[in-house]
Amino acid sequence: MFDLVIRGATVVDPLSGSVGEKDVGIRDGLIAEVAPSIADSGALCTLDASGLILQPGIIDTHLHLAPSPLGQRMAVKAGVTAAIEMAGPVEKVLDDMADSGCGLTVAVLNAILPGQNVSGANPGIDEINGFIDRSLASGAFGVKLLGGHFPLTPEASRAYLAAAHDRGVYMAWHAGSTAAGSNLRGLEEAIELAEGRAFHLAHLNAYCRGGVLPAARECARAAELLEAHPEIVTESYLSARNGCPLGLDEKGVPRSAIVRMNLKRLGLPETLDGMLSAVQSGELSVIRPVNGILELLSGKTGTDWLQSAPGPVDGSFDHVNPAVSRVFFATEKRSNGEFLVDAVSTDGGAIPRNVIVEYGLSLVDISALTAVEFAAKTSFIPARMLGIAAKGFIAPGADADITIYDPAARRAVHTFSGGRQILASGEVVGSGGTVLCTAEGEEAVRKRGLSAQVLPGGIPALNRSFGKKTA
């Protein structure tokens, strides 16, 4: 007897490379059978998915659930079943999951913030290790260097990555330091400072916006670097927007280096007045909750919210990421036929640009990616990045993490996490969530009433061979 049978979907399995109309039977949170037809008598519930496409649940390898709990809702509505949360703070993310979670499986990478959770931009090794200890004990899966927004010195950045690597801790890096920005030079610096150590290079496209060389040449240089450093895992996102915290320091200057960079690009002062001018013109939008979701606002509505919001405001600059880098990194392959960039992400969640399905399927429509490759980059490979063997494919024994989407509308319709439906006909129905953590953080997770899945951490060896199988 099955708990659920999903009928008539076109099933895409990146592990086998198969595509075909099948039924999928789910039992006890696992996929129990995949067959051309499963008898009606063998199911407690059925779901007709005729005309829809079923693939392994989408794993967003770069999103931000904080500061608003609505970030979880935004991700689920976009078809996501699991995600890497790329900043934290871990306590805030887990509290929101316990209070208003939507059924996601989440790995939190806690970001080091000079002047906030460490003393400054050049913390010593003892302070770095203390931050890592606190992060893991609080339920984080790993840590992050948020160099583009809140940079450390090159020396501290090197020490931070080395400490995480030597301890077997998953480490992501938004390239940039006090010496190099969030651009091609910052990318080159990050790889140099890593000294051959594996790390997760966050949103590769962000360093190829034409800030140093023309964007196409920056893409070519980034490709050379990744070819030479296969130990690096990375993802890119498809939105033309970025995301930025809009907070000010005690001198009235934006805390985020990327906010300052974008204001300078627009010829505006690096102040609240500069941000207000950018919002008024539409170059910068602010994020505000509206009717249970997060929306981007500009013009007078946006400036009013930026000045009157009861707490910190985040925003998004438009026209930042050129199409050439977004498409190149989503589709480019290595010389051996494997994908150059491991995954397609959103950098969304609480930033309203959760467009994996919407924009990713556009690439399928123009044959830039096959449906199998899209499923591989949004599910199978991300599962291997996290070291989860049971996710990312559609076959008996796999976790019943499933995304079902409408290929014509390019939107998610139904999703399941561990066999539990969390999105039904486009509406969020999930609750709670599962936290991917290390053994150090299991107690902190369970104290909040959340499920904990303990993983060893660290960057696993990746199999990137889908390009050869599915080209």
Q: Is 469 among the domain residues?
A: no
Give the pTM.
0.94
- Weakly modelled stretches of the chain, pLDDT under 50: 467-471
Q: Please, what is the angle between helix 154-166 and helix 184-194, to 10°?
A: 50
Q: Is 341 among the domain residues?
A: yes
CA-nearest of 407, 287, 325 to 358 is 407
Query: Would strands 53-56 and 348-349 be described as parallel, antiparallel, or unpaired?
Result: unpaired
CATH (domain of 379): 3.20.20.140
Query: Would you call 126 exposed, middle or buried from its count of C-beta atoms within 10 A (0-12, 13-18, 19+)?
Result: exposed
CA distance 82 to 436: 10
pLDDT in tens, 404-442: 999 999 999 999 999 999 999 999 999 999 999 999 999
274 and 30 in contact (C-beta within 8 Å)? no
Range of the domain at 294: 57-386
Q: Coil, helix or strand for 123? A: coil
What is the phi/psi pair of residue 249, to 5°? -85, -175
Q: Is 248 among the domain residues?
A: yes
Q: Is 165 among the domain residues?
A: yes
DSSP for residue 141: S
Task: Give the strands of the sheet with 314-317, arranged side by side.
Answer: 244-245, 314-317, 284-290, 293-297
Tokens at 443, concatenated:
């107690």
Q: In the prediction, which pLDDT does 447 show?
A: 97
| Residue at 167: amino acid letter | R
375 and 91 in contact (C-beta within 8 Å)? no
As beta bridge partners, residue 450 has none
Q: How many domains does the chain have?
A: 1
DSSP code per residue over 253-314: -BS-HHHHHHHHHTT--SSHHHHHHHHHHTSEEEEEEETTEEEEE-HHHHHHHHHH-SS--E
Tokens at 102, concatenated:
């939507």
- Give me the residue label for tokens 């013009």: 299
Q: Is 109 among the domain residues?
A: yes
Q: Is 114 among the domain residues?
A: yes
Q: Is 433 among the domain residues?
A: no
Mention every residue, 6+ apart, whose C-beta is less than 8 A from residue 395. 13, 15, 16, 31, 34
405 and 51 in contact (C-beta within 8 Å)? no
Q: Is 198 among the domain residues?
A: yes
Mention every residue, 6+ apart, whose C-beta is less than 8 A from residue 397. 30, 31, 390
Query: Would strands 402-406 and 411-417 be described as parallel, antiparallel, or unpaired?
Result: antiparallel
Tokens at 377, concatenated:
């980059």
Query: Would you call 240 exposed, middle or buried from its count of C-beta atoms within 10 A (0-12, 13-18, 19+)?
Result: middle
Tokens at 457, concatenated:
């951490």
